[in-house]
Amino acid sequence: MRELIDALAGKWIPLTNRAVFRIKGPDRVRFLNGQVTNDVSKNLNEKAVAACLCALKGKVEALLWISASEDSLILDGELSQREAIFNRLDRYLIADDCEIVDETERMKLVHHFIDGQPGVVSIRVGKVGKDLWVQADALSSDFVDADQISPTEFTAAGILACVPRAGYEISGETFPAELGLDRWAVDFHKGCYLGQEIVSRIESVGRVKRVLRPIMAKTPTEIGENVTNSLEETGKITGPFELVSENYYVGLGLFSAPEDCAELAEFEAVSFI
């Protein structure tokens, strides 16, 4: 199903389901680095990084994308977690000289795969694209004339890329390594953040007991149902399926982790039920 990801080339989508926050002030980098799993001290004017907000015990509470403008950091998460993300960050904003501004109603995000168009490099669904923050009526004709990705197509691509979703895979009960986020949303060489000790301890052990898998099925399977996949792993369906062809649906599930799960390459782990 790599073809579904590759088919995004030259297309774009307005991501209307994002909660957006701007962090301003001289301590913005230090503050956010103490909250998220990835390093935001790097040059985020040219790229966006994915990062987790973790609880004290290292379990994932939210998945964010973070980039920068001249005088602020911009982060976005799922719209359903708008209040939760703001409250979590605001709770720890004590002595740092910065402020959190909710920009959800004012900033609009376009994610695109159109060569030569502006934006910061961002990998949201397993393919290198760009994030472009715009006013709704300020899109160039290059976007208007290009093919638009449907929300279903984008969601299916995210499932195949094993991107966890709030309320499903992200429930406050899973570690970054269980969701595969340790490979692309965690920096193990940065300073401390909430939950860092446990996240690093799991990394040092080298494996987890369960792993998130993209799966395919001829019919959608109910959330919470126990299943066995074509790799002979037992697991549980975590979220809703999306139709990707006349014959197949794709979804995600948490499965018992084999000893060599860390060696499985991206997309090679897509299994069937």
Which tokens belong to 257?
Answer: 């982790």
pLDDT tens digits, 93-122: 998 999 999 999 999 999 999 999 899 999
Question: 262 pLDDT exceeds 60?
Answer: no
Which tokens belong to 234?
Answer: 């037992």
Question: 224 pLDDT exceeds 80?
Answer: yes
pLDDT tens digits, 5-29: 889 999 999 999 999 999 999 999 9
What are the residue ranges spanned by the domains of the chain? 2-159
- Mean pLDDT of the residues in the chain: 91
* Residue 79 neighbours by CB under 8 Å, 6+ apart: 16, 17, 18, 19, 104
Cα distances (Å, whole numbers) of residue 139 to 43, 85, 130, 144 = 25, 28, 14, 7
Nearest alpha-carbon partner for 259 in 222, 241, 233: 233
Mean predicted confidence (pLDDT) in 167-181: 97
Percent of the chain residues past pLDDT 90, beyond the cut: 76
Q: Which fold has domain 2-159?
A: Gyrase A; domain 2 (3.30.1360)
